């Protein structure tokens, strides 16, 4: 079965520092991968998605992610953190054979001034 693992339930960085949120997937076939962000008391908003067109995917708000098949990873990065980036981030994979997303446990990102 396909699944995703997010390393670190809580990540804290200083404003202006690099943001790195880790996601590893398990899949027997090339997956479709997504990163969503959830601000307090809101629904999920798509940051970016990998659909095999390019391994480096650029998303909204300056975020990007690189698909690395050899490492089964899809880590999310942003060169310079902003206070408004404080939120919870979810990595997800489309489940083969069924139309649904399987989510990781989420990583709460805190930005220190």
Partner 1 sequence: GAGVSQSPSNKVTEKGKDVELRCDPISGHTALYWYRQSLGQGLEFLIYFQGNSAPDKSGLPSDRFSAERTGGSVSTLTIQRTQQEDSAVYLCASSLMPGLQETQYFGPGTRLLVL
Binding residues vs partner 1 (CB under 8 A): 32, 34, 36, 41-46, 49, 51, 90, 92, 94-96, 98-106
CB of 32 to partner 1, least distance (A): 5
CB of 113 to partner 1, least distance (A): 28
Smaller CB distance to partner 1: residue 43 or 113? 43
**DSSP state letters, the chain:** --EEEEE-SEEEEETTS-EEEEEEEE-SSPPPEEEEEE-TTS-EEEEEEE-SS-SEEE-GGG-EEEEEGGGTEEEEEESS--GGG-EEEEEEEEPTTSS-EEE---EEEEEE-
CB of 72 to partner 1, least distance (A): 17
């Amino acid at each position: 079965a396909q699944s995703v693992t997010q390393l670190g339930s809580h990540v804290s960085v200083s404003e202006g520092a690099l943001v790195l949120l880790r996601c590893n997937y398990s899949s027997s076939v090339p997956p479709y991968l997504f990163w969503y962000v959830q601000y307090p008391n809101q629904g999920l908003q798509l940051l970016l998605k990998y659909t095999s067109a390019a391994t480096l995917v650029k998303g909204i708000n300056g975020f990007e992610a690189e698909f690395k098949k050899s490492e089964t990873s899809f880590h999310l990065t942003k060169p310079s953190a902003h206070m408004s980036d404080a939120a919870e981030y979810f990595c997800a994979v489309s489940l083969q054979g069924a139309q649904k997303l399987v989510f990781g446990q989420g990583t709460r990102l805190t930005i220190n001034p």
